[in-house]
Amino acid sequence: MSGICDGRVVVVTGAGRGLGRAHALAFAAEGARVVVNDLGVALDGAPGGENPADAVAAEILALGGQAVAHGGDIATGEGAASLIRTAVERYGRLDTLVSNAGFLRDRMLVNLDEHDWDAVIRVHLKGHFLPLKHAAAYWRAEAKAGRAPVARVVHTSSGAGLLGSVGQGNYSAAKAGIVGLTLVAAAELARYGVQVNVVAPAARTRMTERAFAGTMAAPAAGFDAMAPENVSPLVVWLGSAGSIGVTGRVFEAEGGRITVMEGWRPGPTADKGTRWSPAEAGEAARELLTAAAPPGPVYGA
């Protein structure tokens, strides 16, 4: 195999199913050696009794690629450290980290208990932070040793993290946090040769099949717009050396569409030059809102 990731070593978390599996296979098809991470849990994070990482690694090997499975919990310090260590010890290096692992505990806010909040924040947000931390430490050491990395990180957010989603307060908060983490990482790690970007995908997976049930038209001319494989080409490119100069950016990917998302920027502004009274502040705010673009609709509202 050869392609735009020929020779690169790529770690993909949550790679046993859905988007992660599609990414792992796509990287392997472009010549990467892949560490396939998956804990094998159920949709809500409960123990699943399966080991899908082994199956995906075997699938890559059967296609002539190189892959190794990793079944550790990347939302723990030791699991995340073990993940990065597996790449370096098995293949001698690490070039790209794709963080994708996650599950859902959907509830309306008044029914969302603390445990379900903590569990989703842990797997999505902490599960992005810890692999990033250990990968960044490796790349910093490489840079200081004079071996300048051409390193890439691709994080996974969601439209829920950009606009919000009714019944998914925990998930939306975690996915919004991933965007903030990405922006900081892009700024902090640039000096070490690391680029960090985030993709907000829309695809049919275990996590979205209920949301899409009955709403998706049949594939046109053989093209399934909601197939997770449609998202992977952008992720693979962002994870390749060819994406040089692209960092700190947020993309949406769905079907054949790629969108650069433009986040918070200063809009209409009023400056009195001194302190407002509450009534004055309210009047100014209403005037500014008439000149501002309306926010995007919250999913499910």
Q: Which are the contacts of 115, defined by CB distance < 8 A and separation ≥ 6?
A: none
Return phi, psi of residue 5, to 5°. Answer: -115, 25
Eight-class DSSP state of 247: -
The closest alpha carbon to 118, from 172, 170, 180, 42, belongs to 170
Rounded to whole angstroms, how far apart are CA atoms 273 and 117? 42
Please state whether beta strands 66-70 and 33-37 pair in parallel, antiparallel, or not at all (unpaired): parallel
Give the other-Cβ count within 10 Å of 87's Cβ. 25
Eight-class DSSP state of 111: G
Rounded to whole angstroms, how far apart are CA atoms 250 and 261? 5
Find where tokens 């992660």 sit. Answer: 20
Structure tokens at 146: 């004079």
The closest alpha carbon to 131, from 67, 45, 196, 55, belongs to 196
Q: Which are the contacts of 218, defined by CB distance < 8 A and separation ≥ 6?
A: none
Eight-class DSSP state of 192: G
The closest alpha carbon to 236, from 152, 117, 295, belongs to 152
Residues marked as catalytic:
158, 171, 175
